[in-house]
Amino acid sequence: MSKRKSKENSLTLRECISKMQSILRERFCYHNYHGKRFGVESQHKHLLELLKRTVVHGESNSALIIGPRGSGKNMLLKDTLKELMEMKQVKENVLEVHLNGLLQTNDKIALKEITRQLSLENVVGDKVFGSFAENLAFLLEALKKGDRASSCPVLFILDEFDLFAHHKNQTLLYNLFDISQSAQTPVAVIGLTCRLDVLELLEKRVKSRFSHRQIHLLNAFNFSQFLKIFQEQLSLPAEFPDVNFAQKWNQATQSLLESKIVEDVLQKHFNSTKDVRSLHMLLMLALSRVTVSHPYIDASDLLEASRVRGMDSKANVLHGLSVLEICLIIAMKHLHDIYDGEPFNFQMVQHEFQKFIQRKAHSAYNFETPVVMKAFEHLHQLELIKPMEGLSVRTQKEYRLMKLLLDNCQIVEALHKYPNCPTDVRQWAISSIS
């Protein structure tokens, strides 16, 4: 019986890899944090206690979770809500309303979204309200069962909180904070933002109704903890269908940490960013190299993934340019050096290019002005150059001031990798004399 059971639980190598990639890709793409969290214990405890007072004791609260992008604000909130809902004393009728400043661009759209998420479209019907406050108060009144103790607690989650501060008169924020201070339905307003100066954006009447509770997040883990995060994110769970494959995969992951190459790659990554989402991108690139003939990630996979991730996208664009466009970029480089970063126009670039042609006596590079202008415009479309801001649009395109969006290192490095680049063009690029 045990043999039959173990046979049923074992999968082919192809099936194991397919299942493994499905699990890990979902984790990396949706940034589902797997494993122990570091550096957010006190913030987690603070937020949990705050929400518990709203959900269990009927208190209304407001708070801001502030931290740079990728510091784990949504992760912290998601985990806290999950733990909150698993508590025995928490009511089953807790309601959550999730708003995002990128989607709800004004208060009218936000109110419609609140109505939809609270499933109160039929209650509102065709009623006409005198003000935003009346409409919101009616929605919350509709949730009441009786007294304060038996009312439905509502958690308002405002992602990209700073964008709501740009709404006209900040009506939504004013009313949410006002309700969170009154003895009405228990409400918790939690804002998530990456702006440290977010309170300066609030009007006085809004700021006076905010509790001024702030939970700051920073990636406060060290490199040894970062290595543990790396191992946890790449490990397969215990419930993986094929136990043998899961064990071998996790052992291979453990052995990666013993490699000096892998340690150097992760140290370089850690020094540039502690963002777990960025680590997910690195692991996703390494995971894409796993096949049936190469079933486990090794040090070379991570090294290649790090190289691809650190690749300069603008330098890659240069590899696909024509020789004429490369010559114009080099002319701009020299103008940038001569005039100490001052903007240039098409006439200046063409004049610099003509000097190179005359010096080399090359008829092969002698293009007509419309052709050169077309190449110049193509560089603008590729966003390798951009027009200076605040200038009149009526200026002729030959005299419109432009700015180069590449530095000298990017240009020289791209020319070294440029296929079949003419020798005189390469020499022109590295020469300091224009």
Q: What's the pLDDT at 21?
A: 92
Q: Are 376 and 382 in contact, with CB atoms under 8 Å apart?
A: no
Q: For residue 426, what pLDDT is reported?
A: 84
What is the rounded CA–CA span in Å between residue 9 and residue 239? 11
Quick one: pLDDT at residue 62? 93
Which part of the chain is CATH 1.10.10.10? 315-430
Residue 36 has a pLDDT of 64
- Walk along the chain (434 residues) and give the pLDDT tens digit of each residue: 444 444 445 678 899 999 999 999 988 887 766 666 767 888 989 999 999 998 888 888 999 999 988 788 888 898 899 888 888 777 667 889 999 999 999 988 998 898 888 887 776 666 666 677 777 777 777 655 444 556 778 899 999 999 999 988 898 898 888 888 876 678 899 999 999 999 999 999 999 989 999 999 887 778 888 899 899 999 999 889 999 999 999 999 999 999 999 999 999 888 888 888 888 999 999 999 999 999 999 999 999 998 888 777 777 888 888 889 999 999 999 998 888 888 999 999 999 998 888 887 666 777 889 999 999 999 999 989 988 876 555 778 888 889 998 888 888 888 888 878 888 888 888 875 44
Topology of domain 41-216, per CATH? Rossmann fold (3.40.50)
Q: What is the pLDDT of residue 377?
A: 93
Whole-angstrom distance, CA of residue 340 vs CA of residue 347: 18
pTM confidence score:
0.65
What top-level class would CATH report for the domain 315-430? mainly alpha
Residue entry with tokens 């002698």: 366
* pLDDT value, residue 263: 92
Cβ neighbours of 166 (radius 10 Å): 11
Kindly report, as residue ranges, where domains of CATH 3.40.50.300 are found in the chain.
41-216
Res 57: pLDDT: 84
Which residues, including other chains, have CB under 8 Å from residue 168's CB and lie 6 or more apart? Answer: 106, 107
What is the model's pLDDT at position 432?
Answer: 59
> Would you tell me the crossing angle of helices 13-29 and 243-256 to the nearest 10 degrees?
60
Q: At what angle do helices 276-287 and 299-309 cross, to 10 degrees?
A: 120
User: In sequence order, which residues have a C-beta less than 8 Å from that of residue 82 and are 6 or more positions away?
Assistant: none
Q: Judge contact between 425 and 330, C-beta under 8 A.
A: yes
Render 244-306 in DSSP notation, one character per residue: HHHHHHHHHHHHHTT-HHHHHHHHHHHHH---HHHHHHHHHHHHTT--SSS-S--HHHHHHHH
CA atoms within 13 A on the CB side of 304: 12
| Order of strands across the sheet that contains 214-216 | 95-100, 154-159, 187-193, 61-66, 214-216
Q: What is the pLDDT of residue 5?
A: 43
Residues 6+ apart with CB under 8 A from 145: 151, 152
